[in-house]
Amino acid sequence: MKKRTVAIAALMSAFMAGSAKAQSSVTLFGVTDAALTHASGSLSNTTGLTGGGNADNRIGFKGTEDLGGGLKAGFWLESGFNIANGTGIATNTNNQNSGISSGGGLTFNRRSTVSIGGDWGEVRLGRDYTPQYWNIGMYDPFYQVGVGASQILMSYLPALQGGGSGPAVWASNSVSYIYNMPFNGLTYGGGGFYGQAMYYRGNNPSNLPNSSDGNGYGIRVGFIGANLTVAIAHGQTSYETGNTQQDNIGASYNFGIIKLTSMFEHDRFSSITANGFLVGATAPAGQGIARIAYSRYQYDISHDPSASKLAVGYVYPLSKRTQLYGTYAHVWNTGGNAASIPGSTTGPNEPSNGFQLGMTHSF
């Protein structure tokens, strides 16, 4: 009889928002980060306050429920915003350029998922990071944030070619199987092997000429040891303007006094290919952490255009939740390329510089 009561209560509570239900365990979390930023290139500069020099601004709601028998349910709703002006960051409904949200309202662009899982792993539904993005983010000492963000994503081939920039980081309409994933997994048993396989769709009607646009998948397998971590990923997405394939591998080794990281990326978009790599390090220095990264991205087309970035930074913790930081980055272009630090523009083969001084406060 009890089970039947639960069944009816469940059906009713799904209909009625906020009616009587088991105690809730929602975590409200977020990051606020603002920086004085100067970006310069040969054509234009900006100086001003920008959001997210060390960590992306976000506010989120998440929770898990113990279902008994080793089973868990969970949700995660995370909204990115620009602290400098209060706008929300756009999401993308269909993994194609046509699906980018507009107007500056808050959305759950950074993650919007419901999950069920156990020791056997997690099934996650919704909008989430793609498996093929994680190595780019995790193995960059600057975590792809601020002026120090590695040139690999900044020059990302499919985005430049008009392919959907959306799934470069997140994919909507996705289903993932996740095993033992650190940090953001519903179930995490500690180090060792972990992995994720994701399938996502553009949700196009079948009678469109390009009905598979925005469809794609990614797969990633990693290992976390005492000092060594390594992970390899492959992803693929279909677009009206061409298909993209992405392969990457990243590794880090913690020598105690210094932690070295490195990653390699190979991208294909239609018949064009591009290669990127990063080498970086973080090390305790004084009371804080020094970090340095050199990254390079080169297109295999006429003149082999390439962009290289050297970024150096320092993060000084006032507490576990609050940090001050400074970052400097320099970009070199060759082969007619004109990559620049966001906020500036630069001419072909001209350099670009960025400098950021800011603070991060998490809650």
Is 226 a binder of a copy of itself (CB under 8 A)? no
Find the part of the chain contacting a copy of itself (CB under 8 A) among 196-204, 227-235, 243-251, 304-312: 196-204
**The tokens of 26 are what?**
């929602």
Residue pair 287/317 in contact by the 8 Å Cβ criterion: yes
Q: What DSSP letter does each residue of 159-222 carry, written as one string? A: HHTTS-SGGGTEEEEEEEEEES-TTT-S----SEEEEEEEEE-----TTSTTTTTT-EEEEEEE
How far is it, in rounded angstroms, from Cα 114 to Cα 176?
Answer: 11
What is the nearest approach in angstroms of a copy of itself to the Cβ of residue 245?
22
What is the nearest approach in angstroms of a copy of itself to the Cβ of residue 273?
29
How far is it, in rounded angstroms, from Cα 133 to Cα 146?
Answer: 17
Nearer to a copy of itself, 99 or 305 (CB): 99
How far is it, in rounded angstroms, from Cα 300 to Cα 109?
Answer: 32
How far is it, in rounded angstroms, from Cα 254 to Cα 259?
Answer: 4
Is 228 a binder of a copy of itself (CB under 8 A)? no
Nearer to a copy of itself, 190 or 205 (CB): 205
Find the part of the chain contacting a copy of itself (CB under 8 A) among 21-29, 267-275, 298-306, 326-334: 21-29
Q: Quick one: CA torsion of 27, 322, 78, 263, rounded to 10 degrees?
A: -120
Choose, by CB under 8 A, the member of 96, 97, 174, 333 that binds a copy of itself: 174
Is 229 a binder of a copy of itself (CB under 8 A)? no
**The tokens of 258 are what?**
């210094």
Nearer to a copy of itself, 28 or 228 (CB): 28
**Going along 210-345, which residue ranges are E strands?**
216-224, 228-237, 244-254, 259-269, 272-285, 288-299, 306-317, 322-334
Is 281 a binder of a copy of itself (CB under 8 A)? no
Is 244 a binder of a copy of itself (CB under 8 A)? no
Is 33 a binder of a copy of itself (CB under 8 A)? yes
Residues 285-314 that bind a copy of itself (CB under 8 A): 287-289, 291
Is 188 a binder of a copy of itself (CB under 8 A)? no
DSSP 3-state of 61: strand
Is 29 a binder of a copy of itself (CB under 8 A)? yes
Site string for a copy of itself, 314-333 (x = CB under 8 A): -xxxxxxxxx----------
How far is it, in rounded angstroms, from Cα 166 to Cα 159?
Answer: 8
Is 2 a binder of a copy of itself (CB under 8 A)? no
Is 184 a binder of a copy of itself (CB under 8 A)? yes
Is 125 a binder of a copy of itself (CB under 8 A)? yes
Instruction: Write the CB contacts of 236 (distance below 8 Å, at least 6 apart in sequence).
Output: 216, 217, 218, 243, 244, 245, 246
Is 207 a binder of a copy of itself (CB under 8 A)? yes
Choose, by CB under 8 A, the member of 327, 344, 352, 353 that binds a copy of itself: 344
Residues 45-104 that bind a copy of itself (CB under 8 A): 45-51, 54-55, 58-63, 65, 67-68, 71, 73-75, 77-79, 81-88, 90-94, 99, 101-104
DSSP 3-state of 134: helix
Choose, by CB under 8 A, the member of 96, 97, 98, 107 that binds a copy of itself: 107
